[in-house]
């Protein structure tokens, strides 16, 4: 299913724009992990090809073209974070510092974009300014994960501080008091909950990313 340039445009989600799937590098990370488990150089080569394709879509300020489920001009923080996670994962496995540095470029830009409360806009403009007045809680949790990983790799305190601030923002919007067991302990897709990403929904993957982010902060 992989194109000669390393991209994937066939077999993608029916809910996604088939030409804006740069975030699929997160799935390529899984392919790289499988390469290690099965001792398969071909799998790792395919993962690296996709990561290299991803780099061709990155602007100098860290922004990625064609990196969104529905609007590639104003990509979601959620899909930008997927892209950073994939690049770091593949870069670590394949010993490709250029892939990790590309993710680091984006992650640094996000530390600047985040405000003092821990709010990160849910969509990002090409000039790396906010394109939304709402927060993608899912993407914030993923970005916290990225910052914690980069702190481990680089030792830069700024990444650790950014992860802690983002986690505090997430915890302040994490429901731990609802009498409804379907809601208590879960995290909404966005804040406010009526914002476009996961509108009025509790998302299991958002909650999973929050748990991962908090565990990484404890271990850092």
Max Cα separation, the chain? 52
Whether this prediction's pTM lies above 0.85 is answered by yes
- pLDDT tens column, 36-88: 999 999 999 999 999 999 999 999 999 999 999 999 999 999 999 999 999 99
Closest by CA to 218, choosing from 142, 144, 154, 136, is 144
Closest by CA to 82, choosing from 146, 15, 160, 151, is 146
Percentage of the chain exceeding pLDDT 70: 100
> How many whole angstroms separate alpha carbon 104 and alpha carbon 96?
13
> How many whole angstroms separate alpha carbon 182 and alpha carbon 180?
5
CA 58 to chain centre: 14
- pLDDT tens column, 117-133: 999 999 999 999 999 99
- Domain architecture of the chain: domains with CATH: 76-219 (1.50.10.10)
């Amino acid at each position: 299913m992989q194109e000669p340039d390393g991209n994937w445009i066939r077999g993608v989600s029916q809910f996604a724009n088939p030409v804006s799937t740069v975030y699929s590098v997160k799935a390529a990370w899984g392919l790289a992990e499988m390469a290690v488990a099965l001792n398969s150089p071909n799998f790792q080569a395919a993962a690296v090809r996709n990561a290299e394709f991803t780099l061709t879509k990155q602007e100098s300020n860290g922004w990625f073209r064609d990196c969104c489920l529905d609007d590639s001009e104003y990509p979601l923080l959620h899909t930008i974070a997927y892209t950073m996670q994939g690049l770091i994962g593949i870069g670590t496995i394949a010993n490709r510092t250029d892939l990790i540095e590309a993710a680091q470029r984006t992650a640094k830009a996000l530390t600047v974009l985040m405000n003092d409360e821990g709010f990160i806009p849910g969509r990002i403009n090409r000039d790396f300014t906010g394109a939304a007045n709402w927060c993608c809680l899912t993407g914030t949790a993923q970005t916290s994960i990225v910052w914690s990983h980069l702190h481990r790799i680089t030792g830069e305190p700024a990444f650790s501080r950014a992860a802690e601030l983002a986690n505090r923002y997430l915890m302040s919007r994490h429901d731990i008091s609802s009498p409804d067991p379907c809601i208590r302990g879960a995290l909404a897709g966005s804040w406010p909950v009526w914002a476009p990403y996961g509108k009025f929904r509790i998302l299991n993957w958002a909650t999973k990313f929050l748990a991962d982010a908090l565990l990484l902060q404890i271990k850092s």
